Structure 1
């Protein structure tokens, strides 16, 4: 199968795990009804909760997590691949993972991915985030063979680290994923150019489901869930921050075609960086 439909779900996750699971299910069913065989939800599908204690109170192990259980059940019932972009999972060591989960059409978990790069930033207007204060970063890149394509897993801030997706492309990934909860401020500045750049430089499709709008915990996310082809063309996008289902038909053959036209993955060379210090000129 060369051509197939994929979907990115745009959500506005609340502080209620139960409401978010219900919203997630509704959107997955909508996407499947439109013919999507791969459906991706955004980062923090389960809940967006700024308060650490409130977040910890709702944490479950992966085996007991309501989002994970619902995703597996929907994948099995609908016969599709369901990709939970990420949700907060309690680790056995007492720490928290920002974890993506991937289920096949039989509801079997194919892979999990813990977000590697922590969003520790200080933005304009006093907006500041310290993801590392809550989450334990992952240590491994993940590439998964699906029946219809090879897929690399990422989450949100990972998009700013091209070496991660270059490694996945070199491992044969034809689809790169960056489900996100981008802030409105950074999204307005960088979202589109980052998505298209990762697609172009790797000759791969990019699918990025996003959170959007003003959330109950006070944060505001950018939305604009997007699907980009290997030539950098936007195939489908939610041009807003409201909940939505973004669907596109992709032809996976476009990935090797793009890589044959511009074979930068093959043409890359090792090099060293030489820093030349220029002596100060006396005035």
Structure 2
């Protein structure tokens, strides 16, 4: 039964400090015999001040992070799912990009660009316009042959768009990563119920590493990194107060067991417009 590690973070505005926290967690995860490490959205740099963040994003900083994590993965023999970090696309905007580091693929490092931009005005007065700086992704990405089977990649706000998860269900993903930096108000209202729903709909494990607490850029995030099984049962909830490393054993037999009992993927029919 493969063991996974989930890192709940309070990432700040210093990429080096954030990367050091991930590297430390990776060593601890490997020492605990975990086969995979999952980190939150914007694990390397969480900074709403785009003028301050821009010089690092536009520099070779993101490339160096990729190189260090690639080397770390090989050293520890630990797959690393970096929830995301900002990268320059060369087209005038940035991408909110996830990476999956493993040595089995034998090709370029797999990555996924967040498709759905967080453009909202909350009742609390918080305003977010991710599309002002970020270019949305256009490709659905899955990673085959991970220690927990086929893994679908998503990021945070993607959670609210069932069509993406329907597509991942059609690809028969065994697990779906949903790294996040959810706000406290939206997290308290919707986080648990939506993650459980996505796991049930896809008959797959959901692994949601999250940001937590008060950050250097002034925001507050909800935390509650979760692992949910295909039946919707919460196997791990890391709470909403502190950063840290959590572990969960993944019973892969549970996937087929649930799909036999409730074959919603097999029974699904196309609905006419």
- TM-score normalised to the size of structure 2? 0.94
Matched, 1:209 2:219: no
1:45 to 40, 43, 46: 43
Paired position in structure 1 for 2:178 = 178
Going from structure 1 to structure 2, the CA distance change for 1:146 and 1:62 (only over 3 Å counts) comes to farther
> Residue 36 of structure 1: SS of its match in structure 2?
coil
Paired position in structure 1 for 2:234 = 234
Offset, 1:160: 0.7
> Residue 75 of structure 1: SS of its match in structure 2?
helix
Offset, 1:33: 1.8
Paired position in structure 2 for 1:79 = 77
Most deviating of 143-152 and 66-75 = 66-75
Offset, 1:93: 2.1
Task: Report if aligned partners of 2:178, 2:209 keep a CA contact under 8 Å in 1.
Answer: yes
Most deviating of 149-158 and 61-70 = 61-70
Offset, 1:12: 0.6
Aligned length: 271
Offset, 1:147: 4.1
Offset, 1:68: 1.8
Task: Report if aligned partners of 2:62, 2:87 keep a CA contact under 8 Å in 1.
Answer: no
Task: Report if aligned partners of 1:226, 1:246 keep a CA contact under 8 Å in 2.
Answer: no
Offset, 1:105: 4.1
Matched, 1:15 2:13: yes
Tell me how large the CA RMSD over aligned residues is. 1.7
Q: Which has the larger radius of gyration?
A: 1
Distance 2:144 2:105 in 1: 16
Going from structure 1 to structure 2, the CA distance change for 1:107 and 1:71 (only over 3 Å counts) comes to farther
Paired position in structure 1 for 2:194 = 194
Distance 2:209 2:221 in 1: 12
Paired position in structure 1 for 2:134 = 135
> Residue 13 of structure 1: SS of its match in structure 2?
coil
Going from structure 1 to structure 2, the CA distance change for 1:168 and 1:124 (only over 3 Å counts) comes to same
- TM-score normalised to the size of structure 1? 0.91
Task: Report if aligned partners of 2:26, 2:78 keep a CA contact under 8 Å in 1.
Answer: no
Unaligned runs of 5+ in 2: none
Offset, 1:23: 1.1
* Matched ranges for 1:95-174 at <5 A: 95-105=93-103, 109-148=108-147, 149-174=149-174
Unaligned runs of 5+ in 1: 274-283
